[in-house]
Structure 1
Amino acid sequence: MTEEEYTPAGADTVDQDLAQMTDEEHQARTEAYLAGLQQYELEEDDHEILEGFEDDAQPDLHDFIPPVVAVVGRPNVGKSTLVNRIIGRRQAVVEDVPGVTRDRVFYEAEWNGQPFTVADTGGWEYGVKGLAAKVADQAERAVEIADAVLFVVDATVGITATDEAIVAMLRRSNKPVVLVANKVDGQSQEADAAALWGLGFGYPHPVSGLHGRGTADLLDVLIDTLPDEAANSEALVARGPRRVALVGRPNVGKSSLLNSLAGNARAVVDDTAGTTRDPVDELVELDGKVWEFVDTAGIRRRQHMASGSDYYASLRTRAALERAEVAVVLLEASQRLSEQDVRIIQMVLEAGRALVLAFNKWDLVDDDRRHDLEREIDLDLQHVAWAPRINISAKTGWHKNRLVPALETSLASWETRIPTGKLNSFIGELVAAHPHPVRGGKQPRILFATQSSTRPPKFILFTTGFLDPGYRRFIINRLRQYFGFEGSPIEITMRVRERRRR
C-alpha cells in the first residue's frame, strides 16, 4: 500500500464509451456484476445494502426517523438545561435570562439503546405579540409533530397562569405528556414537586436539569411512552428553508455578510474579533426563496487548546455545522490563507456538509494580492478545488447575488444519486482502462459498486483487496469529472470480500 497518487497511463475513452451505452446495457452489466459477487463470502448487512439496487430511488440508509420528544414550558424554567442533560453534551445555549432559545431546535439523543430526537423550544407564553408570538407558535408546531411531550415546570415557583394555559394547549394536542418538576435539587424540595399534581398530568417527576438528579428515572418513563419510530415522519422530512452555516475565523466578516443578506443589523458587528459567541439564526429571503442562515463564532484555535467561552463557541460552531446542510466558509481575500482557514474547511468536510468558499473583502485586493492568492489556493486548497468559489464584499454587498447560485449548485450535488446501473458501468469501464497497480503479486479488483446514501454522496465498493488511497482518490476525481458533484464531498468505503470456499 502506498500514499502516492495514482497516475493513469495514457488517455482513455471511458466517457465516450459510456455515452453510447443504453439503460438496458447498464442494467445487464450490473446484474452480471451482482451475480459474480454472489460467489464471494457476504455478510448479513451486505445483503441489506444490495437489496433493491436496481431501484434508482433507493432510499438512504438513514431513512429511519426516530421518535420525537418536544420539550415545552414557559420561559426560564430550565428547558435547555434539561435538554443538555438528556443529550449528554452542552449544546443548547443556556443563560440565566428568559428567552435565550427562540426557535425549535432538534438534537439526537439515546437512552438504553432507544434513539430519539429532542425538540428544544422557546418559552411558550399566552396572548403575546411580535417575536414572542412567533416563539410560541414554533413551540406549538413542535408539539404537533412530536410523539411525546416533556412539559417542564419550575417546581420552586409552582403553578402559574401560563402553565395552566400550556396545559390547555397540550390537552388539545392529544399527545402523551410526561410532567417534569424541574429545579428539584434536593430532597427538601420534593414537596414543591408534589404540588404540581394539580396540573392533571399525573406524577410530577422531580428532576434537576442542572445537576442531573432524577433524569435517569425520567428517561425510563419517557422511553416507555415512545413508539419505535416517529409517527409524523412525513412532516419531519418535509423540506423547509435550506440551512446555511457561515463559518470562518474571527473578524472575517460573517456577521457583516448576514446583516447584508438580511437587510438589517441582525448580528452584532464590531472590529473587535470574537464579537459573536453563540450561533445567530436568521431567515432570509433571497431570489424568492427563504434560507436559514446561521452566523457562528469565529474559530480562534484548535478546540483542545481553547478555553472558556472560546471553547464553548467552538463546540457550538460544530453543532451549527451538524444542523446545517451547506457551509459557506468565509476567507479574507486581502490576507494570506492561514492554517486556521484550512482547519475550518476540514471541519466542514468532517461534518459531511456541502461547501462554498467565499473570499470576502475583495474590494481591498489589488492585482499583486490576486496573483499571490491564486498561488495560495493552488497550494493550500487543492483538496477542495471542487467547491464553488465566489468573490464578495460583505460590507458593501458587492456580488452577494452570486451566493445563491453557488449554494444551489453545492446542495444539488450533495443530494445527487447515481443510478446503480450507470455507476457500475462507469466503474467497469474505468477499471478496464486504468486497473489498480499490482501490490505484492496481487491486483485488487472491484466486484460491485453502489451508492449507499446522499447528503453527502457515499459509495460502497465491494473489492477483492484493499485499494490504495491514491487509487481511491483517482476514482473520486473521475466521479467528479463524469457526474459533477461540484460543491459536495464524496465518501468511498470498501468492503473486502473473499471468494466463497467450495
Structure 2
Amino acid sequence: MTDEAIWAALAEEFTADVEAARAELDEGPVPVVAVVGRPNVGKSTLVNRILGRRQAVVEDVPGVTRDRVAYDAQWAGRRFTLVDTGGWEPDAKGRAAAIATQAEIAMRTADVILLVVDAIVGATDTDEAAARVLQRGGKPVLLIANKIDDQRLEPEAAGLWSLGLGEPFPISALHGRGSGDLLDEILKLLPEMPEDREPKAGGPRRVALVGRPNVGKSSLLNQLSKDDRAVVDSVAGTTVDPVDTLVDIDGETFHLVDTAGLRRRVAQASGTEYYASLRTQSAIEAAEVAVVLLDSSEPISEQDQRVLTQVVEAGRALVIVFNKWDLVDEDRRYYLDREIDRELKRITWAPRINISALTGRAVQKLAREIRTALDGWEQRVSTGELNQWLAALIAAHPHPIRGGKAPRILFATQVDIRPPRFILFTSGRLDPQYVRYVERRLREDFGFIGSPISITVKAREKRGKPGGKPGGKK
C-alpha cells in the first residue's frame, strides 16, 4: 500500500471528525442581517426577540445603542449574523452623526436589512428619509411595523405602505407576536453565500494602514499615492475616518485604507475616539493584510503591542513597518534591535521593513513584503504531506510522558486558509508547549511568512467508553 493510499484511507476515516470540527470552529462566512431605524422604535427589543435571549441593552430612553453590535443568530438550522445599530437620523451632528455612520455602514455591508418603524406613531420624516436611502441601496429590505401588540392594532401598519418598501410586516417585538413568521421571511431573503465577504478575484488587494497616533500612516499614504490624499499634522489623532485610495506600488495596484490611530482599547475609549476605534477595527477586519506602522525613533510601546495583537486576533496577514528611519542614528539602532528581540519575539514570523514616509526611503519595497505576507496567508499544505511531516517530527521529538503515557497525534489536516487553520486529532490532551513547538516547526519547514496560524487540538474519545473523557479513569 503506497503512502498516498495510506493517507487517503486515514483521511476517509477522519472525514466525519473533520466536518464536525469545522462546524465547531464556525467555518465559513454567514449572511448578515442589519436592524436599522430611528431611535426608540424597538430595534434592540427585536434583536433580543430574534436571539431568544436578553442580549442587547434595552431602555425606555432613545439612543441607548450607540454603535453596531453583532450577534450570532440561528433559525431553522440556518446561521446568520444579526447586527443591532444605533438610531439613524439624517443630518445628525456630533455623537449622533457617529451613531448614524455606524448604522449606514451596517446598511452597506448587510445582506438583508430590517427597517423598524413604530407603527403606532406612524411614518415620520426620519422614517421616510431612511426609506429613500434603502431604496437606493438595492439590498433586500423588510419593513417592520413594530408595537402591533394585538390584532386590533393591525390597521395601524397599513399607513406604512407610503414608505415605498412594500408590505409592512406587523409584529410585537416586546411580546413576540409575529416573530416566527418574520424569521421565516428573513430566511427566504438570505443569500446562499454572503455577498462581498471575500475580495473578488483579480481585484486590488485590501491593505489597512494601522498603528498608534502620529506614527506616519497618512504620510505614507500620501507618499505612495503621490498626492495629499490624507490630512497630515504633527498633532496626534488627525485622522478619524478611514481614508480609502487605490495606489500603485512597484507595478501593482493596492486598495489602501488609512485608519485612525489606536490609542487604547475600544472599550476604554470615549467620544469621537471611541467611534474612530470602531471604524479602525472594522477596516482591519475588512482588509486582507494589515501594515502596522511603528515609530522607529521611539521605544516600542504597549500601544504598539496592542495594535499588533488586534491584527493577529483578527486573523489578518501582517507586515511591520518601522517608519521615520531618517531619524534613527547608530545608538537608536542598537537599542531598537534589542527591543525587537524582546517585544516582538512572539511575532517573528511577520516581515519587517525600515522606511521613511517623509523622504520616500524604501517605500516601494513595501509591495514585496505585502505579497509575501499574502502568500503565507493563503498557503495550504496537503493532508498527505502534512501527516508525513508530522510523523517524522513526532519520531524525532515525541510528546513528553504525562501520568505514565504520552498522548499520540493520530491525524492532522489543514481546514482553511486566510489565515491557515489546522486541526490535530489526538488520543489525549496535548501540552500547550508542545502545540507551540508544532507551530514553530510548521513555520520553519513550510513558511507561512506574514500570517498567523491557528492550531486546534481535538482529543478523540476512546471507543467502547461512550461519554468517557479521553484518557480518563473508569
Query: Is the partner of 2:297 in helix, strand or coil?
Result: coil
Deviation at 1:203, TM superposition (A): 2.0
**Which of 313, 326, 346 is the equivalent residue of 2:289?**
326
What does residue 100 of structure 1 align with? none
1:70–1:150 CA contact under 8 A, matched in 2: yes
2:169–2:182 CA contact under 8 A, matched in 1: no
TM-score by length of 1: 0.68
Within 5 Å, give how 1:231-270 maps onto structure 2. Answer: 231=192, 237=198, 238-239=200-201, 240-270=203-233
Query: Is the partner of 1:448 in helix, strand or coil?
Result: strand
What does residue 272 of structure 2 align with? 309
d(CA) in 1 for partners of 2:129 and 2:20? Answer: 54
Distance 1:430 1:294, change over 3 A: same
Identity of aligned residues (%): 48
The question of 1:230 aligning with 2:230 is answered no
What does residue 157 of structure 1 align with? 125
Distance 1:425 1:312, change over 3 A: same
d(CA) in 1 for partners of 2:4 and 2:45? Answer: 49
The question of 1:381 aligning with 2:341 is answered no
The question of 1:277 aligning with 2:237 is answered no
Deviation digits for residues 431-474 of structure 1 (CA, Å, limit 9, x no counterpart): 11111222232222111111121111111111122222222222
1:152–1:180 CA contact under 8 A, matched in 2: yes
What does residue 386 of structure 2 align with? 423
Distance 1:85 1:407, change over 3 A: farther
**Which of 33, 43, 46 is the equivalent residue of 2:17?**
46
What does residue 499 of structure 1 align with? 462
The question of 1:202 aligning with 2:202 is answered no
The question of 1:404 aligning with 2:372 is answered no
Query: Is the partner of 2:418 in helix, strand or coil?
Result: coil
Deviation digits for residues 383-417 of structure 1 (CA, Å, limit 9, x no counterpart): 11111111111223322211121111111111111
Distance 1:160 1:142, change over 3 A: closer
The question of 1:464 aligning with 2:424 is answered no
Amino acid at match of 1:241: P
Distance 1:67 1:343, change over 3 A: closer
Within 5 Å, give how 1:1-400 maps onto structure 2. Answer: 25-31=2-8, 33=10, 46=17, 48=19, 64-67=28-31, 110=73, 115-116=79-80, 146=111, 148=112, 150=114, 155-157=123-125, 177-179=141-143, 195-198=159-162, 199=164, 201-203=166-168, 223-227=183-187, 230-231=191-192, 237=198, 238-239=200-201, 240-400=203-363
d(CA) in 1 for partners of 2:278 and 2:195? Answer: 30
d(CA) in 2 for partners of 1:84 and 1:406? Answer: 47
Amino acid at match of 2:184: D
d(CA) in 2 for partners of 1:248 and 1:219? Answer: 44
What does residue 470 of structure 2 align with? none
Amino acid at match of 1:446: I
1:86–1:215 CA contact under 8 A, matched in 2: no
What does residue 7 of structure 1 align with? none
d(CA) in 1 for partners of 2:424 and 2:129? Answer: 60
What does residue 449 of structure 2 align with? 486
1:181–1:204 CA contact under 8 A, matched in 2: yes
Deviation at 1:149, TM superposition (A): 5.1
d(CA) in 2 for partners of 1:465 and 1:160? Answer: 60
Query: In terms of mean alpha carbon deviation, does 381-390 or 343-352 score higher?
Result: 343-352
Aligned residues between the structures: 420
Deviation at 1:197, TM superposition (A): 1.6
Structure 1 unaligned residues grouped into runs of 5+: 1-23, 52-58, 91-95, 97-104, 125-137, 183-189, 208-212
Deviation digits for residues 317-343 of structure 1 (CA, Å, limit 9, x no counterpart): 333322222111111111111122122
Distance 1:159 1:301, change over 3 A: closer
d(CA) in 1 for partners of 2:140 and 2:175? Answer: 18
Structure 2 unaligned residues grouped into runs of 5+: 49-54, 58-62, 91-103, 147-153, 466-474
Amino acid at match of 1:226: I
Deviation digits for residues 289-337 of structure 1 (CA, Å, limit 9, x no counterpart): 4433232222223445444333443333333322222111111111111
Query: Is the partner of 1:226 in helix, strand or coil?
Result: helix
1:151–1:179 CA contact under 8 A, matched in 2: yes
Which structure exhibits the higher relative contact order, with contacts defined as CA atoms closer than 8 Å and separated by 6 or more residues? 1
Say what the alpha-carbon RMSD is for the aligned residues. 4.7
Query: Is the partner of 1:359 in helix, strand or coil?
Result: strand
What does residue 128 of structure 1 align with? none
TM-score by length of 2: 0.72
